Amino acid sequence: MRSKESLLSALLSYIRDVCMGAWSITESCLTAFPYVFRWGDLRKEVTEGYPDPVSSKTADDLPPRSRGLLFNDIDRCTGCKECQTICPSACIHIEEEPGADISKIWVSIFDIDFSQCIFCGLCVEVCQPASLVHTRQYEGAAYHLTDLVASFGRGQVTEEQRAKWAALRQAIESSEVSST
Amino acid sequence: MNLESFWVVSWVNSIGFLSGLPEWCYAAISLLCIFFFVLIPSLVFIVFFDRKLSADLQARVGPNRAGPAGVLQPIADLLKLLQKDTRSPWGWIESLWISIHSMVLYSSLAVIPLGSLALLLDTEMSAFLPFWSALVLALGTILLGLSQGTVAGWFGGIRVAAQALSGAFPALISLLCTGVRAGGFRWTVLAGSQGFAPWSWTVASNPFQAIAFLVFVMSGLVLLGIAPLEGGQSMSDIHGGVATHLSGRRLVLFRFGRFYGFFCWSVISVVLFLGAWNLPLQFRELLVRAELYPLIGFFELVCLLMKTFCLMMVIVWIARVNPRSRVDQITDFTWKVLSPFSLSALVGAGIWAGWRAFL
Amino acid sequence: MTIVLKKMNSIDESVENNLTQWEIGPYHSSLPAPIKLSLLMDGEVVSHCSLETGFLHRGLEKVFELHSWRSSIAYVDHLDPEAAVFGELALCLGVEEIAGLAVPSRAQHIRIILAELTRVSSHLIYMVRMARVVGSETIIHYLLRDRERILDLFELLAGARFSLNFLRFGGVCADVTEGFIERVLEVCEVIRIRLKEYNDLFTFNHGFLKRTAFVAPLTSSLIRECGVTGPNARASGFSFDVRKDSPYTGYDQVDFDVPLGRGEGGSLGDVHDRFLIRLREISQSMEILKQLSETVPSGEYINSEVEKGYAIPSGEAYVRVESSRGLLGCHVVSDGSSQPARIQFRTPTVAHLMVIPKLVTGIRIEDLPVLLASLDLGIAEADR
């Protein structure tokens, strides 16, 4: 049997529990209520329309170090393959051959497979001539997996050109030899 | 059924070749009218405002693409869901669920108190009839859960059963409170005991009625399993419970049934406690003098629906902000909190009414 | 309710015992991560649970051995994508110990700022998961909005939002960008205001308390038995924090407290305590961030020796850092070549996974997702 006091205290704690519940529900509701009317700077809606040229962010709003899709300036690229070596996901594929000049290397294929790229930025970091850069473009969706491969190479060399360049190189070499 | 005074009769009779139809045809036509011109628009309206209010509370924008400010979003959703294929052919328990579902939808339409315009049937026990509907709706939901043959579905079904049982008791008791004040359970009697002004509503007449109102609304949420008191549809542990396997048209049907329960319960709460469909007295007299009887019915319906929507929005507000309860806590809450409060409200309301009678 | 059960192989056996069998996972809405639970339930009460993991195994530790030292930092980001910096930090500390590289104090400051920002963002995600399982929708959006600010900070500093790849052996990759420190302070201020809002809205909400208080308290014997660390252990009053006990990368210069669970909601170490401890840790991290942001020393951001050459001598080291989930240990072995010989991690989530079958027994099925979310499982780092 419960004593009279404990019954009273049980009743009181029961009523307090109910009141506390009612109050906390009300408090939660009131905390969220100002959001309906967007009161204050901290209660603005955060949704940004996309694609929406007026309200949404564009590529220009990205921070300076933002790592977007990669771009290789093939005119500056020396074909050193540093990026291919460091790439953790092996998404850079480079093929090259000697060009018309001894100092020039013809980068025939420079493919970056964005379906494998993890955008870690290591390749950009190691690029000595700074030809490989992150662009500000981030919209890379494509319908086919093959569309995600970006090609920056100069293209395959035909047999005639290869022979011609070999001859040119030989000419330069021989002229160098003769000059020395 | 006093069909003579019902607006559908004169309306149908005015179309020459249709005059002189049997009574049940008029009833069926009016039910269809209520369904398509009151219920479906309310559904669209509530779904839209539910989404907008939730978005506003959550610092989002909400639907904004379909139509101006996204008003056509519910219709777009509906069309999308309707064209989806069903997962599997109907089983017999699912067919049973569908038939019970439709039975509830169409039968209880006749007793929803939607103002004098749409009040088809009014009996001495009108106020109790929706309980039957709610309980049968719960039965349908239980069957739906059990029909899925998964653990989640079983749990969902059994939780719905537990909730419906525990919610019905306080709801009935708090319904008695308002009957004690009005002196009957006819919709017209319940509405007639109140006025347009908030201080003439049942809820404001004495503190016991206020308690009864809160109990009635909350126990309705438990009975029908509406957020935040839905255990049978809990998303986190039984991933939807009774509705786990529903998609496309079946999901539309299920959602519509849930909405229908929610809507009916809010309408009944408004009729019982929040001044029913009463218009301001002068305004009503003005219309009566001008002999614009259909307009009276129309304004009554608008007045009732406005209050209902406000009530539903408050419930949505609470549901979005607060965590969902566990099913054993819900049943605990109804048996240990709502039931004692409703009983004390009944005693208090009875004493209050008796005391007023002696004065 | 604890029934000692022999392993049941057939459904018939569980039917004989009036138990329900339920296999949850590996992909299920009540699970925070891909794990598989085989439950035996007596009604709605779980009476037996066995756990299966490894669905997110990517062979990460083997991958390290196939790549150069420099690429390994890009990989270690994927140890725990939600809190990438801790893995980077552990690896860098280990390599620096082998190579004897000194880290400039500016770099150390930047590292701690990053680590604490990551801790806050990871704890915010933890709160999102808690809110989701108890069905509180509104606060989820508030939390994600505030986490977004931290991710913006990461993007401003490193250019990426999750996999930062920012730390380097001997320092950090680049100096802080203009306005970064000011924005850190600004975010601190905003989140401090928000914490009050979270408390009003959610933490002490009656419904949330009812769902979480007294649920699955983690006893101190279980903590010792399974090796639970981090906030989960501290919620049970188990004072262990690597930042305090054996300070690394300059945590000894920072003045901060280690909050401990007090059992305010219900019993000590229950789900609510585990939630509260994260809230307190967020405010402590705010303190640390504020102290550090005001006193960032000038100087180099990376050890100048590193720029010249990249040779890691042979040797091995074991370092510990306090990640947002607990004690993260990193064992680095170098044989002097250009590739790591072995990099091995001791991740806190493994211990948390071992606790699950013991904690789950005897709770209601509706509390199961709450319990799982409250343990802050980073399954990516456990399966790795």
Q: Is residue A129 part of a domain?
A: yes
Q: What angle do CA C324, C328, C334 make, to 5 degrees?
A: 140
Q: What is the C-alpha separation between B77 and B71, in angstroms, rounded?
A: 11
CATH of the domain at C153: 1.10.645.10
Q: Is residue C219 part of a domain?
A: yes
Q: Is residue C229 part of a domain?
A: yes
Mean pLDDT within C181-187? 89
Together in a domain, A130 and A173: yes
Q: What is the C-alpha separation between B14 and C38, in angstroms, rounded?
A: 68
Contacts of C160 in chain A (CB under 8 A): 67, 119-121
Q: Is residue A34 part of a domain?
A: yes
For CA atoms C351, C35, C55, C53, the dihedral sign is: positive
Q: What is the C-alpha separation between A47 and A27, in angstroms, rounded?
A: 25
Instruction: Search chain C and give the residue with CA nearest A63.
Output: C156
Mean pLDDT within C88-116? 88
Q: If you average pLDDT over every residue of chain B, what do you get?
A: 81
| C2 confidence band (pLDDT: 50, 70, 90) | very low
Is residue B90's pLDDT more than 80?
no
Q: Is residue C158 part of a domain?
A: yes
Q: Is residue C4 part of a domain?
A: no
Asked whether the beta carbons of C39 and C19 are under 8 A apart, the reply is no
Output B29 or C282, whichever has higher pLDDT: C282
Together in a domain, A39 and A66: no
Give C302's DSSP letter: B
Least Cα distance to B136 among B110, B162, B102, B159 occurs for B102
Q: What's the gap in Å between the CA of B320 and the closest CA on chain C? A: 6
Taking only the tens place, the pLDDT of each residue in C22-68 is: 888 788 877 878 888 888 888 788 888 888 888 888 888 888 888 88
Can you give the residue range of the structural domain that contains C351?
A: 60-383
Together in a domain, A31 and A115: no
Q: Which residues of B65-77 are buried (b: 16+ CB within 10 A; e: fewer)?
A: eeeeebbbbbeeb
Q: If you average pLDDT over every residue of chain A, what do you get?
A: 82
Taking only the tens place, the pLDDT of each residue in B37-63 is: 888 888 888 888 888 888 888 888 888
Is residue C77's pLDDT more than 80?
yes
Together in a domain, A99 and A126: yes
Q: Is residue A95 part of a domain?
A: yes
- Are C138 and B320 within 8 A, CB to CB? yes
Is residue B8's pLDDT more than 70?
no
- Are B237 and C366 within 8 A, CB to CB? yes
Q: How many Cα atoms are found within 13 Å in the side-chain-facing hemisphere of A93?
A: 10
User: What residues contact C128, with CB distance under 8 A and at least 6 apart?
Assistant: C140, C143, C144, C147
Amino acid at C154: F
The domain total for chain A is: 2
Contacts of B238 in chain C (CB under 8 A): 30, 365
Q: What is the C-alpha separation between B211 and B345, in angstroms, rounded?
A: 6
Mean pLDDT within C226-244? 88
Asked whether the beta carbons of B277 and B191 are under 8 A apart, the reply is yes
What are φ and ψ of residue C363, in 5° steps? Answer: -100, 165
Least Cα distance to C238 among C265, C268, C260 occurs for C260
Alpha-carbon separation of residue B97 from B35, C150, C332 (angstroms):
20, 49, 62
Can you give the residue range of the structural domain that contains A9?
A: 4-43
Is residue C11's pLDDT more than 60?
no
Helix (H, G, I), strand (E, B) or coil at B350: helix
How is B253-309 classified by DSSP, letter by letter?
HHHHHHHHHHHHHHHHHHHHHS-TTPPPHHHHHHHHHTT-HHHHHHHHHHHHHHHHH
Q: What is the reported pLDDT for B66?
A: 82
Taking only the tens place, the pLDDT of each residue in A40-62 is: 778 887 887 777 766 667 777 78
Helix (H, G, I), strand (E, B) or coil at A72: strand
Together in a domain, A34 and A91: no
Together in a domain, A170 and A134: yes
The domain total for chain C is: 1
Q: What is the C-alpha separation between B263 and B305, in angstroms, rounded?
A: 10
Together in a domain, A151 and A91: yes
Q: Is residue C39 part of a domain?
A: no
Q: Determine whether C8 is exposed, middle or buried from the number of CB atoms within 10 Å of its CB (0-12, 13-18, 19+).
A: middle
CATH of the domain at A108: 3.30.70.3270
Together in a domain, A108 and A175: yes
Together in a domain, A39 and A64: no
Q: What angle do CA B335, B320, B314 make, to 5 degrees?
A: 75
Considering only CB atoms, C75 lies closest to which of A32, A42, A88, namely A88
Q: What is the reported pLDDT for B216?
A: 92
Mean pLDDT within B189-194? 85
Asked whether the beta carbons of C370 and C130 are under 8 A apart, the reply is yes
Alpha helix (H) ranges present in chain A? 4-32, 82-86, 122-126, 159-179
Together in a domain, A21 and A105: no
Is residue C7's pLDDT more than 60?
no
Q: What's the gap in Å between the CA of B85 and the closest CA on chain C? A: 23
